[in-house]
Structure 1
Amino acid sequence: MAHAEAHAGDEEAQEVVEAIRVKDVESESEDGVTEADEEQSDESDGLSDNEEVEAVPTVKAYSALLQGFQQDDGEDGARKKRRKIEVEHPVLIDEQNDAIEDGEAASFSASDDESLSDEDEVAEEAGKVGDDTDVGSKNGRGDDDNALDPYEAHFASVDDNELSKRLQCVQAKEWRTEKESLPGVGSFTCFVPDSCKGSSIRKPVTDGPLQLPLKKRLTESSAKKLPALNDLHQAVAPYIFNYSDFLLASRTVDNAAGVRALACLHALNHVLKGRDKVLKNTARLAQSDTPDTLDLRDQGFTRPKVLILAETRQMAYNYGNSIIELFQPEQVENRQRFIDSFSAPVDDRDIMPEDYRELFGGNNDNSFLTAIKFTRKTLKFFSAFYSSDIILASPLGLRRIIENEDKKKQDHDFLSSIEVVIVDQADAMQMQSWENVDVVFRHLNLQPHETHGADFNRVRAWYLDDNAKYIRQTIVFGAYATPEINRLFNTAMLNIAGKVKLLPSYPGAITAPSLSGLGVRQTFSRFDSTTPATDPDARFKYFTSALLPSLLRLPKPADGAQGILVFTPSYFDFVRVRNFFATSSLTQNLSFGAIHDYTSVPDQRRARSHFLSGRHAILLYTQRAHHFFRLKLRGVKRVAFYGVPDNAVFYEELVGGCLGTSLREGRVAPEEAGVRVLFSRWEALGVERVVGSQRVKGMLGGMGDTFDFV
């Protein structure tokens, strides 16, 4: 994976801008339409069937928003936007194109749009067609049972007073906490607004996907794609489909396909229910003698409703494939182009760890964004962003558009009406640059700069009141939790339906098979750190005054080579330590090498060779370098962790792999080898993964500051 900077060149950015702003070619040349009313739902956001009239937004919020658009567009532009708003129930141009894509013939005009173009659509509005009804096989409910439909309950049926209370609780950070542990799954911590009644703990889905509130067209495909849910999937599904924010910090290669399928199923269900809701409301407007009296708030500012963030094109390809398998369209447009652009042959050699092959196998480019558009019969890749339903992108790809150097090309309005965000492999995103993720979330659900053809008579009140971020559902999958991911959970996941964190119980990396039987002492030293802000200085002082001198005083191994590997989790710490080695009198007689994530391959080989031969007594090595290269270092006789690695697998590989290799080759005796780990109480998450959930409690708050394991 390339370690790209946040800003791209003008040429690549221009291509993506054009992909966002381009209009469907067919819409400029075709006049016929058969699903115009149906595709009105595609252009807007969605709810499920039989939605009641939602509270009317305040005149102040509505007027202020329109005034902002009028000021941006000028006098002529304002006149044009008002004419758009005054249309009773307009059908946008890309909706005509959607109907053409489905290959059905009918006519449509702006003055004669009161009849649906398909008899099935008319029947569906009357409730006679069951093709897209909700199912719940366990309780036998259907489309019309809104009280049991999480989609309806979250987006449409919440009482105004209850919604106001929940918003006040979330904004005031007044959360009620509940916890539950499931053997073999982990510990759930649920946060709900204080005003919510009842327990937030949900029972696992034991009867498979048919127990979920799905559209009927998804039940058969989901039964094939997810024939049997394991314990983790059964426990996770109720929270996801209840529209709660969810953080899964135990994603593995083994369970990744299942959680990805659940996420795609939920995203599709959301899009289809939104499409169905707007379609039915459009029919009500068309059949009503007094449409002006109907207040049907069922959409947002722009059409895209789901954002899927993936770190590599290959993972995006996996999501696209999963969506196709679940949606089962009659036609997939631009499929070969999608395959060519997002996939590549996956190297099946097992010389690298399994998690590395999953992340970097195939097409590992991490700068991309594309969109997916649905009609009743087709799925289209590479659709125009403002006429799409799902945006599939990497954080870096989005950031290049949001922060384009050419301000005229900057755009984030297509993120204004996102209602479901899915973030996969959050741990890999942090290794790349967590700032990319922060930038994306800071630009979600903002008020748009342009109208983009929105029908403001049907925009939901909470969009107009700038409360969409409290309704949005955010789902995050990661191999582990970090302070940065926890900060996202605390500051950006503010769902009025509550939020849930699932953490596993860790046995500890020190118990891994690769470390068993080594007979090497592993010493963990805790230093005092009063605040996170002072932690770097306190760490550096302890390392240079206590840990490093003790390592240098140890007798040299029999071959005379020191073989000290110094691992630094942060690049900033690496630079500080490297400068110390270059200038300090303590290390003036020592030769050292360094490998970080930007070190060229020839320089890597040179540093590794000098370290193996003993020419370099010390090798400085960064966490990101190991993440990207997974080097198998030889000649390691002692390991000093400047900080605890975020990924406990790294600890296993450096101690059990690199140091273990030296022991097996006879380069160092067990009594001469050693591991020293420096940590503070602010590294509780990382320490827990290395030493285990049971041992960490005494290490962070117990007596003493040195802990030995063998």
Structure 2
Amino acid sequence: MLIPGSNPGIREPFEPEESPSEASDDSASEEEDNDDEDEAQPASNAYATLLQSFSSLSKRQHDGPEEPRKKRRRLSVQAASDVEWHPTMNSDTLEAADGITAEEQEQADVDEDTVGDEEDAVEQELEHVYETHFANPDENELATRLKRIAENQWSSKRLDTGISSLKGSAVLQVPSPEDKALARQRVKSIRDVHLKARLVENAQKVIGNFDELEQVIAPSIFGYQDLLFGARTVKNASRLRDITCLHALNHILMTRDRVLKNNAKLSAATEDDDAEYRDQGFTRPKILFLLETKQACVRVLDSITKLHDFEQHENKKRFLDSFAQPEDKFSDDKPADFRELFEGNDENEFRVGVKLTRKTLKMYSTFYNSDIIFASTLGLRRAIESGDPKKRDYDFLSSIEMVIMEQADATLMQNWEHAEFVFEHLNLQPQDSHGCDFSRVRSWYLDGHAPNIRQTIVLSAYLTPKINTLYNKHMRNVAGRLKYTPDYTSGLIESLSYSVKQTFLRFDSPSHLTDPDARFKYFKTSVLPSITRLPRTPEGGLGVLVFIPSYLDFVRVRNSLVDSDFSYASISEYTDATDVRKARSHFMNGKHSLLLYTGRAHHFHRYNIRGVKRVVFYGVPENPTFYEEVVGFIGKTVERGEISKAEASVKVAFSKWERLEMERIVGTKRVGKMIGDKGDVFDFV
């Protein structure tokens, strides 16, 4: 199990496998393993190189060419099958691309010459969305949409989900004034998705037909739109993983095949051919998976290998030894979402590069030689911040074209600042050239528009203000964005199995910035005095559990009780196991009247607290499951006959800034009145 560190928002793993200074997640031994890596590229100043290319272009346009254009020579192909295409290679340096042998390269050249326009037409149809979004976007349309994004002008449409089993709200936004931009492709199965031929058969076996919910989000995923999906569950997690992995694989294959095809054209070009092929980014990595645990990384790699048949898996044993553990360490009495997150290897500081060739899947490739980067937000941040602060390297994130964050709600329970840090360092202009051939870099990269071309997919069990801020700030895709929110019409409170009296107490909070101060004042002046008036019983203590979502609020409340008359215990995410056992025992036996319990302690351990007779929610938990489970502590006490139902009670302090959290618990039809009406006390039984 993860162990907390000194920072309230960071949880440290046992004996980290990699030192934070290893920014590329590779050791000296890994370099020995990389016998098929591309040759080292010369380091030079990227901007000087770029300026020179612009100067040269300008001279040709105004003065005309001073000498005949050099003839492009045909690629010299080695027989070895392990030399691969790299974004920094140009037509003169590339010898063998993507593991293609000399015979295969020659056959590809023959196909290029003989098939002709008919094959090109089919290829264009298959790559239509890829073509219009990444390869050759219309410059006028792109400029129009970028301007509207800068002015925050979005055309919106609420989609008719047509879902009977899971109602929800799906809102599509597009930075275009034209209604046709809001039109959506109908996607019912894999057959309706444009995939590379080598993926179709496996995709049909693994995914097949889309269910009702998947039909709502699939057009946005495969249409390169941003997606914020707030209805991820244990039940649909595996399917969502397969769908996003399929899309990521398809994008990598589209990009690689386009580069190989253009390489062949350049090698066959004559001296009079001035064709320009812009098909690359500054660096090779294109896909970034932000995951919560090493075991989650194993699951994603499993999904990729199900969808694409690789003949070889390099460093697989090393990867499994480091990342995989048996997923059976918890009993069935733990909640399903807890077991899904923490089963197996739950270390949350990691980063690893993965390289794909036509025949091989290679783990532990260096970042600059990787197609996909798997990392936790903490692991990626430490990789960037390691070493000399003046020489921090984040150029490997400069050409990320797809980000998939699988469990944003779990990331919230770590330190959300790590996620913000990662997104702030995506798609920045590189500090070094890394051997990049700028004549092959797409124009929108050079113009600094990559953040608006990048597709961002965020999956979460629920939405919060911080996740919504990420959506508004970093999910600004020119293709549009889709936000899906589950239906909370009735709320959790109507489905609780324990009929305990629940009282919601609203306090005044003028600003969300001063909300912690207003909350603490209300707790000290109203809630604590009501606890002191509770009748003492000779057979036990008061049995009051105070649930505090924020660790900083927990510290504040704990310190305020030091000089009080209350006997209390406390359990936070930083309390060691021995002190936890003592606190639970003394509280259950009545020695302590109060137990302070943090939201993160419940997230990471899901303790079953006994002796709970009354619950006070210092704040509304963001995860509605926590509310149900904590109220269940009282329900179990009543079932055991330790107190009567009349003695049990739940009090919840809330402000108008907790609308999203309240909506999930009391329901959409009630939250408006509870937030805005004059009354400040609301009872439920």
Cα deviations by residue, 1:344-368 (Å, 9 ceiling, x for unpaired): 0111620211110100000111111
Give the conservation status (yes or no) of the 8 Å contact 2:75–2:94: no
Q: Does 1:418 align with 2:419?
A: no
Say whether residues 1:488 and 2:467 are aligned partners: no
Identity of aligned residues (%): 46
> Which of residues 452, 475, 497 is equivalent to 1:470?
452
User: Is 2:232 the partner of 1:251?
Assistant: yes
Q: Corresponding residue for 2:486?
A: 504
Which residue does the alignment assign to 1:158?
A: 137
Q: How many residues align?
A: 644
Given candidates 636, 654, 669, the residue that maps to 1:661 is 636
Partner of 2:168: 186
CA, structure 1 residues 143+558, in 2 after alignment: closer, same or farther (shift >3 Å)? farther
1:66 aligns with 2:42: no
Give the aligned partner of residue 106 of structure 2.
119
Residue from 420, 424, 429 that aligns with 2:411: 429
Q: What do residues 478-531 of structure 1 show as CA deviations (whole Å, max 9, x unaligned)?
A: 11111111111110111111111100012422233xx33x33210111112222
Q: Which residue of 2 is the match for residue 546 of structure 1?
A: 526
Offset of residue 18 of structure 1: 5.8
Displacement of 1:195:
4.0
* 2:615 aligned partner: 639
Q: Mean alpha-carbon deviation: is it higher for 233-242 or for 412-421?
A: 233-242
* CA drift at 1:91: 8.4
Counterpart of 1:693? 668
Alpha-carbon displacement from aligned partner over 1:273-305 (angstroms, at most 9, x marks no partner) = 001111111111111103761221111100010
Deviation at 1:441, TM superposition (A): 0.7
Residues 123 and 129, structure 1, Cα contact 8 Å, conserved in 2: no
Residue in 1 that maps onto 2:551: 571
The 2-side partners of 1:701 and 1:372 are apart by: 51
SS in 2 for 1:214: coil
Cα-to-partner distance string for 1:29-64 (whole Å, 9 max, x where unaligned): 89xxxxxxxx99xx9xxxxxxxxxxxxxxxxx9966
Instruction: Check if 1:260 corresponds to 2:220.
Output: no
Distance 1:511 1:493, change over 3 A: same
Question: Letter of the aligned partner of 1:329 in structure 2?
Answer: F
Contact 1:611 1:635 in 2 (8 A): yes
CA 1:109 to 1:590, structure 2 compared with 1: closer, same or farther past 3 Å? closer
Give how far 1:190 is off.
Answer: 1.6
Pick from 264, 270, 277 the counterpart of residue 296 of structure 1.
277
Alignment of 1:226-375 (within 5 A): 226-290=207-271, 293-347=274-328, 349-375=331-357
Any residues of structure 2 matched to 1:202-213 within 5 Å, and which? Answer: 202=184, 205-206=187-188, 208-213=189-194
- Check whether the contact 2:21–2:386 (CA below 8 A) recurs between aligned residues: no
Contact 2:18 2:25 (C-alpha < 8 Å) held by counterparts: no
Q: Which runs of 5+ in 2 are unaligned?
A: 55-69, 86-90
CA distance in 1, matches of 2:34, 2:253: 23
Query: Following the alignment from structure 1 to structure 2, what is the Cα–Cα distance between the partners of residues 273 and 205?
Result: 20
5+ residue gaps, structure 1, are 31-38, 44-60, 71-85, 103-107, 135-140
Provide TM-score, normalisation by structure 2.
0.87
TM-score (normalised: structure 1): 0.84
User: CA offset at residue 547 of structure 1?
Assistant: 2.1
Aligned counterparts of 1:455 and 1:406: Cα–Cα separation in 2: 28
SS at match of 1:381: strand
Q: Is the 8 A contact 2:184 2:219 kept in 1?
A: yes
Compare 233-242 and 195-204 and name the one that shifted more.
195-204
Counterpart of 2:600 (choices 616, 621, 624) is 624
| Counterpart code for 1:66 | L
Aligned counterpart, 1:75: none
Whichever residue aligns with residue 699 of structure 1, its letter is: M
Q: CA deviation at 1:128?
A: 3.7
Residue in 2 aligned with 1:479?
461
Given the superposition, is the C-alpha separation of residues 127 and 637 from structure 1 closer, same or farther in structure 2, using an over 3 Å criterion?
Answer: farther
Tell me by how many angstroms 1:535 deviates.
1.1
More deviation, 188-197/232-241: 188-197
Deviation per CA, 1:392-446, whole angstroms, max 9, x where unpaired? 1111110111111533773211111000000011111110111111111111101
Q: Partners of 2:635 and 2:475 in 1: how far apart?
A: 42
**1:180-235 deviation line (CA, Å, top 9, x unaligned):** 242324110122114454252535522x1111111111110000111332222222
User: How many Å separate the matches in 1 of 2:11 and 2:23?
Assistant: 13
Shift in alpha-carbon separation, 1:550–1:327, aligned structure 2, 3 A: same
What secondary structure is seen at the aligned counterpart in 2 of 1:143? helix
Check if 1:13 corresponds to 2:14: no
Cα pair 1:642 1:678 within 8 Å, conserved: yes
Which residue does the alignment assign to 2:66? none
Q: What secondary structure, in the 3-state scheme, does the structure 2 residue paired with 1:254 have? A: coil
Offset from partner CA, 1:451-487 (integer Å, 9 cap, x none): 1111110111111111111110000011111111111
Deviations for 1:53-86, whole angstroms, at most 9, x for unmatched residues? xxxxxxxx9966735999xxxxxxxxxxxxxxx9
The structure 1 residue matched to 2:503, chosen from 523, 539, 542, is 523
After superposition, the C-alpha distances for 1:107-138 in whole angstroms (9 at most, x for unaligned) are x98598999962332245348499xx89xxxx
**Deviation of residue 556 (structure 1)?**
3.4
Match of 2:149 in 1: 170
Deviating runs (4+, > 4 A) in structure 1?
Answer: 4-11, 20-30, 61-65, 67-70, 86-93, 95-98, 108-117
